[in-house]
Structure 1
Amino acid sequence: MIDNEGTVIFAMFMAIWATVFLELWKRQRATVVTNWDLYMWDEDEEELALELINNLQHEPRRYQHSYLRSTIVLILALLMIAVLIGIAHALVIYRVVATAFFTQSDFEFLREQANTVAVMTGAVLHYLSIITMTKVNRHVALFLCDLEKPRTFSQRENNFTIKFFIFQFFTNFSSLIYIAFFLGRINGHPGNYVRIAGKWRLEECHPSGCITDLFIQMAIIMMLKQTISNLVEFLVPWIGHKIRSRQKRPKKRNMVVGEEEEPEDPCKKQWLSNYQLSEVNIFSLFDEFLEMVIQYSFTTIFVAAFPLAPLLAFCNNLFEIRLDAIKMMRLRRRMVPRKANDIGIWLQVLEAIGILAVIGNGLVIAITSDFIPVQVYKYTYSPCMTKNSTAVDCLTGYINHSLSVFRIQDFEHHTKLAENQTDIIWDKITECRYRDYRNADDYSYTVQFWHVFAARLAFLILFEHVALCVKLIAAWYVPDVPQSVKNHVLDEKHSNLRKELRWVMPQKVPGVAVLRDSMVFSWRPG
């Protein structure tokens, strides 16, 4: 259902969609900025103007760069990334141990579906680690920004955004990257398995292919993020608002007999209501941006393995946009507006995600899925090619072709078999099959393995180059700024220049020189 020819077309479509989406975003941004008269606005110029208005003797704070501080920040950032990758490795060890534990369980369902249950519980733990590490990543990113000592608030905000997003990217996608590109490929082969602590084998891919494990992992993480996270994001400020409303409600004073109750001041009532709202901080909108960018990453980078990601994101946003509106208008105080003519560094982050989407989907199709091995078999080793027969399905015999032979006598010496199975295995079964392309004699790679490897590499190079070229064409075809906005800016420049020149240029009287603003202008015919 997932791993077929349509996957390639869908991945290519999503790469084009990501580019068109960003181009349409830029066009909408240009229109909105023009309506607010911020198209040519410069933040640094306005900051300097405000400082000079307050103090004409003010000297601007100079840009500074310290290679020592930059080196320290780089080392600490790399250490943090190493910690995040280590957490992904811990999840891998959990799945290995959980698979062995479920295999020995008394419940038949757990024994039969041990690998799938281990992947599902590992996905839940991955989600919990995302929630925990998000708070840690925020504090670490702020600490690194303080070490850099940026000149302005916008520069500090950009530096913090880059660091926090990188940490969040590794937190969210380290485990997915392992499942997509390393699961089942570094665990050796029968007779020479890679074992953790010399005891537990590394986990294998799902019998239907490694892309199934990636599908399960992404489905659980996205569903949990879009249900639990949204509920917590809305219920926490709502409950806090209700508690503050009850605690801060003024008590009615005792009325004297014959005394009339004073009418309640509507302004005072509104002030009290506003005071009971939750405070906003610098991260109020930042968290919303980060949530959307991470969701955008899920819907583009590994969309070839989880085609339902865009649909889930769309359904989630239909509800979340209303919940966010209620939260901002009824549960929080009004935000202090700040001028901006774009979304800042977030646009560069979205463009980087678009490039990663091409690379990620190309790797998923070339490495994770069985699309390339199937095509190699179909056009090289299938009955349609060897027997020149079109009466049978060209994929007949693919399963046997993708399995290698292992001799039972070559089992590892420390492999323990049950007593009631030893006689059966050694007396009646002499060999078994496993997914790989290896020779039965020395377990070296076969010619088919190198054919598949060359086809994977060729497809990856071709897919990425074609997708990137299509992205560039789409970016060129859809202008960043609408023609109406360009013409409006052109008319404004023309009008402003005409007004300035009207005050400077004299009337064109032949042979007359006019002195204005310490400059002499003269005009003669010809």
Structure 2
Amino acid sequence: MFFKNRQEHMELWGRQLDTTEPLLPAMPAHRTFDYVLVAHKVDNDNNQKSQRQQAFIEQLKKKNISITRIAHDDKVFFGLRAPSKMFEDYQYLLKVSDSCNWCGDVRGTVTQATRIRVVHFILHQTFINTGENLEELLMKDVFETIFCLHERKQQKDLKRKWARWSALFTGQPVNNVKCYFGEKVALYYLWLGWYTKLLVPAAALGIIVFLYGLAFFNTNPLIQEVCNSSIIMCPRCDNRCAVWQLSDTCFYAKVSHLFDNEGTVAFAMFMAIWATLFLELWKRHRARHVSQWKVYDWCEEEEELILKIVNDPDCTPKQFRHSYMRNTLVLILVTLMLMLIIGLTQALVVFRVVAAPMMSEGSLEFFKDHANTVAMMLGAVLHYVTIQIMTRVNRWVSLKLCDIEKTNSLAATERSFTVKMFTFQFFTLFSSLFYVAFFLGRINGHPGNYLRIARWRLEECHPSGCLTDLFIQMAVIMLLKQTINNIFEFTVPWLKSCVSRNAAKTLERKCGHCYRKACRDEQGCVEPCDICKLRDWLRNYHLANTDAFSLFNEFLEMVIQFSFTTIFVAAFPLAPLLALINNIFEIRLDAIKMVQLERRLVPKKTNDIGVWTKVLEVIGVLAVIANGLVIGVSSDFIPRLVYQYRYGPCANGSTHLHCMQGYINDTLSTAFMSHSAVLKDFQMNQMRTENGVTVTQCSYRDYRSDEDYTLTSQFWLVLAVRFAFVILFEHVVVVCKFIAAWFVPNNPIQVKNDRLHDKLARLKEELREMKRSRSTDV
């Protein structure tokens, strides 16, 4: 760039833009305020709070920010409006930066969203003589709160097009959302809409898998074998638990078949590939929009540097730092936190181990008959309560760990916090599920050698398999989390909105003329009276508060849901359907909440969903591993396959019997009361049936010898096939994922061509400006 000085460059740039649009927009019909600062009224001017308030206000005045002060009841409102010069500097720095030459804010008018973003940064980078900034003053109650205002016209437009329940099945006006809330919020809704749309085929296939199991609900030979069985099973617990009939669990066997059938394998493979296709197609979808919004090459780090210069031309960059000591400390603390979370999971396991036998020994017949199922559901509810408590703990710990790290920028801090918070939440939600999926019923031992916690025996799997336990756990947590969270998300802001409307109506009675009789200033702009200003400020003040975590919470909720939908989908084929139904309502719920019930979010500029993309990629890999293990280890798919081709009637050449006839009996081993070790676990009063008949033997689920209780050759064959299947499944799916990622390019050809034309046009413009500069010198 060949210019004598900045002023010359600004004049040339201004003349160029004058041919299309003015450098800065015409003032709105009535003057808007960029921010409103609220403080408690202090009677004594010598009070420390009052002095700090005045000191901060004076610092803002030094930056030429105009301030309108209005007192109301016990509060003082400060309306802040930044000067136009501040945004001229911002646009100029964007123009000469490396990565923002064609950003949306460089050409055209300065929108209110841009004004809010710039002023928000400046307010939080303003320090008083004590070294305190706005964040510290808010923490010390010097100021009560700060918020930006909703624009009434644009707000009503968004209500009509988007934030209403009647628009439930209509498209989202993401361009309008971008202009009002910024690119960061727009990309969240763009991602959520895309995720919801691609859930449709996943939900449809999940329903087909469920219906496939339902079609053979009454004719499946495995179900018939359980329902018509006369096998006596060993007691589920010590002392008062007695032997029971396998046929008593007929309904449980039917439910197990709904979620553990041949279609589950194909569905798990489909969902693993679906997760990859979803991400690759999302990258293309994102590229189209960020290219259209002219932020494709935008750089968050450079944006922060520009804002620092606008705030203080003499600023110095915050140096990059790396400390092995700090990183080691953070790693140790993260490990300790994960150990605490896993410890809570063990506590839930102990609760279930203790609850089941206690209910079996109780007086209520229902709990005695369904002790294990009730204990499982109570454990799931307790897990949900634990999740709600630990969410707050996880957030506090993540913030403290970010403080220890001392990252270089706000963007780096946000990335670090996101990774830590998601990791803690993932372990909080999924530790219990991993136990149910991979450990339940596999480490409990056998008659004569049961594994115990204190004096309580560990849980056993049902003879029909363990997958139903995992399904119950997932269904309870997913339904509770989505339903209760959405109720609280909506009702709390709605109640605050009611307060806001009442306060506004009170002021409307005091001011009947509103904008109609308001005075005009020397520029001809309408200047509302103080009561009208206050009415607008109070309307926004009484809305639910928003902060940097508002959008993070929405992303975290949806990414956790994505984890439920993909990682253990083999155990819960209806998870995509529940996610789809939830998301259809979630989009409108969040829209109504943001537009009508909450204070306006600070518009942030970005060109991606950030570190969440990496998180989703990790979840995609975990989905392959977990689903392979669920099918290979947790489900009965492999044992049934081995029995069909190695031990069943068909393997022995029989053509008169079904290939799976006798499978349930084949998976059971027998314990004899004559064995001394068995007598230690079972008392004679436990060996009486409901009819009062005393039995001398009982069956349990395992592949063990009846003589010495050693594992049989069938166990080792099944185990070998399990491992072989897991390895084969994961390699096949990973190869399919790589092929899908290669086949679908991240950027559409149209986007590449558009960017090429934009770069060429920018270079030509730079060349013309250079020639104009040379001709001016001559």
Instruction: Indicate whether the TM-score tops 0.5.
Output: yes
Q: Which of 335, 340, 348 in structure 1 is aligned with 2:601? A: 335
Corresponding position: 1:445 with 2:691: no
Q: Which of 568, 584, 590 in structure 2 is aligned with 1:324? A: 590
- 8 A Cα contact 1:404 1:438, kept in partner: yes
Matched pairs, number: 502
Q: CA deviation at 1:45?
A: 2.2
Counterpart of 2:582, as a letter, is: N
C-alpha distance 420-270 of structure 1, shift in aligned 2 (>3 A): closer
CA offsets, 1:390-432, max 9 Å, x none?
3321111111211112121234454463648579999963322
Counterpart of 2:724, as a letter, is: A
Secondary structure of the 1:134 match is: helix
Moved more, 53-62 or 234-243: 53-62
Q: CA deviation at 1:338?
A: 1.2
Q: CA deviation at 1:122?
A: 0.7
Q: Which of 485, 506, 513 in structure 2 is aligned with 1:263? A: 513
CA offsets, 1:112-131, max 9 Å, x none?
11100100111110111111
Name the residue aligned to 2:746.
480
Name the residue aligned to 1:512.
none
Q: CA deviation at 1:283?
A: 0.5
Secondary structure of the 1:385 match is: coil
Distance 1:281 1:346 in 2: 19
CA offsets, 1:72-93, max 9 Å, x none?
1111111110111111111111
CA offsets, 1:206-254, max 9 Å, x none?
3421001001110111111121111011111112332455467647989
Secondary structure of the 2:276 match is: helix
Secondary structure of the 1:339 match is: coil
C-alpha distance 84-475 of structure 1, shift in aligned 2 (>3 A): same
Name the residue aligned to 2:23.
none
Distance 2:292 2:749 in 1: 14
RMSD: 2.6
Corresponding position: 1:172 with 2:426: no
Secondary structure of the 2:318 match is: coil
CA offsets, 1:305-347, max 9 Å, x none?
0001000000011112111111111111111111101011000
Name the residue aligned to 1:123.
380
Corresponding position: 1:3 with 2:3: no
Alignment of 1:41-440 (within 5 A): 41-52=298-309, 55=312, 57-197=314-454, 199-243=455-499, 245-246=501-502, 250=506, 262-265=512-515, 268=532, 269-386=535-652, 388-410=653-675, 411-412=677-678, 414-415=680-681, 417=683, 419=685, 429-440=695-706
- 8 A Cα contact 2:464 2:664, kept in partner: no
CA offsets, 1:355-384, max 9 Å, x none?
000001000000000000000111111121
Q: Which of 286, 291, 295 in structure 2 is aligned with 1:34? A: 291
- 8 A Cα contact 1:88 1:175, kept in partner: yes
Distance 2:559 2:609 in 1: 12
C-alpha distance 216-420 of structure 1, shift in aligned 2 (>3 A): closer
Q: Which of 752, 756, 762 in structure 2 is aligned with 1:496? A: 762
- 8 A Cα contact 1:115 1:206, kept in partner: no
Moved more, 285-294 or 314-323: 314-323
Distance 1:297 1:369 in 2: 20
Name the residue aligned to 1:508.
none
Name the residue aligned to 1:469.
735
TM-score normalised to structure 2 length: 0.61
Secondary structure of the 1:216 match is: helix
- 8 A Cα contact 1:194 1:201, kept in partner: yes
Q: CA deviation at 1:389?
A: 2.4
Unaligned regions of 5+ residues in structure 1, if any?
Answer: 255-260, 506-514, 519-526
Distance 1:80 1:361 in 2: 27
- 8 A Cα contact 1:408 1:426, kept in partner: no
Moved more, 318-327 or 142-151: 318-327
C-alpha distance 159-425 of structure 1, shift in aligned 2 (>3 A): same
Moved more, 78-87 or 414-423: 414-423
Counterpart of 2:469, as a letter, is: D
Moved more, 491-500 or 348-357: 491-500
Counterpart of 1:154, as a letter, is: A
C-alpha distance 113-434 of structure 1, shift in aligned 2 (>3 A): same
Distance 2:390 2:714 in 1: 43
C-alpha distance 397-503 of structure 1, shift in aligned 2 (>3 A): same
C-alpha distance 419-364 of structure 1, shift in aligned 2 (>3 A): closer
- 8 A Cα contact 1:84 1:170, kept in partner: yes
CA offsets, 1:113-167, max 9 Å, x none?
1100100111110111111110110000001000000010000000000000000
C-alpha distance 109-48 of structure 1, shift in aligned 2 (>3 A): same
CA offsets, 1:248-268, max 9 Å, x none?
7647989xxxxxx84244862
Name the residue aligned to 1:258.
none
- 8 A Cα contact 1:145 1:159, kept in partner: yes
- 8 A Cα contact 1:241 1:276, kept in partner: yes
Unaligned regions of 5+ residues in structure 2, if any?
Answer: 1-257, 517-527
Secondary structure of the 2:539 match is: helix
Distance 2:611 2:687 in 1: 62
Distance 2:614 2:470 in 1: 27
